[in-house]
Amino acid sequence: MWQSLRVDSVNVSFGHRLWWVDAFIGDTERGNPAVVVLLERPLEDQALQQIAFELGVSETAFLRRVGDGWSLRWFTPTVEVDLCGHATLATLHVLLTELAVPGGEFYFQTRSGVLSGRRLKDGLLGLDLPRAYIEPLDDSVLNGTLGPVREVFQAGPQSVLAIVEDYDTLCGLSVDPMSLFLVPSSIVIAACHGGPDVDVSIRVFAPRLGLAEDPVTGSAMCAVAPWWVEKVGSPTVSVRQASARGGVMHARLFEKNVEVAGAARTFFEGYLRA
């Protein structure tokens, strides 16, 4: 047809493949969207950031084959981050489900070191993320942004974990992102004991990373699992993220890492013209 229109040629070359994946889904929970971009060639950091801005999801994962492993980087619409759980789960899902890459264990070179992932039973995928070590903080660090809290902890260099009274309190939090921006932490995790069919429920706020509230946050398990062990003694914990989309996560604490498990599904796939 194009010959009849006197077009000399048709450009049928495609760019980098991408997949929109919802990570940490449940029976009724929609999970957290991440876009996984498979890079056929390296791109400049500025180009990666612009792509993440255009895609507009909480995290875009850029995946590239490096030797026998994979290089993985994560960008919010505004900044590159050191660690992202849900985008890593989405990446593992793409490798196993969309690309059918063989192998029992996958290794990703990241800004947080080498992370690993695998397929688990019952349709779950598992990731090993670095555990955080929690230390008590005075609640004044929050400047009252979460209202009354029971306990506050520093959880690694970039996260604060605040324990609120109960599930109703957690769901009722009305947080001003600009006030939270003044808290000296990139990520603020609000948590409580219990919730529908889980041990712990959380909400996560990250205005310094360009995210007023994150739908589901796998990296939060790096703090929640150690806290749960200190309080209850169990190395395993089930967690619901009480965001508008909702999500379900499972975590198991080890000496140096936390295995975070969840389910994912592909929403759509395509090509990036970049």
Q: Which two tokens stand for residue 252?
A: 């198991």
Q: Which long-range contacts link 165-173 to residues 24+ away (Cβ below 8 Å)?
A: 165/192, 166/192, 166/193, 166/194, 167/192, 167/194, 167/195, 167/196, 167/201, 167/242, 170/195, 170/201, 170/202, 170/203, 170/242, 171/242, 173/146, 173/147, 173/203
Closest CA to 63 of 81, 53, 48: 48
3-class secondary structure, 86 = helix
- Catalytic, 59? Answer yes
Instruction: Give residue 66's identity as a one-letter amino acid code.
Output: V
Given 29, 40, 59, 213, which residue is catalytic? 59
Q: CA distances (Å), 211 to each of 9, 54, 180, in order? A: 44, 15, 11
Q: Which residues are catalytic?
A: 59
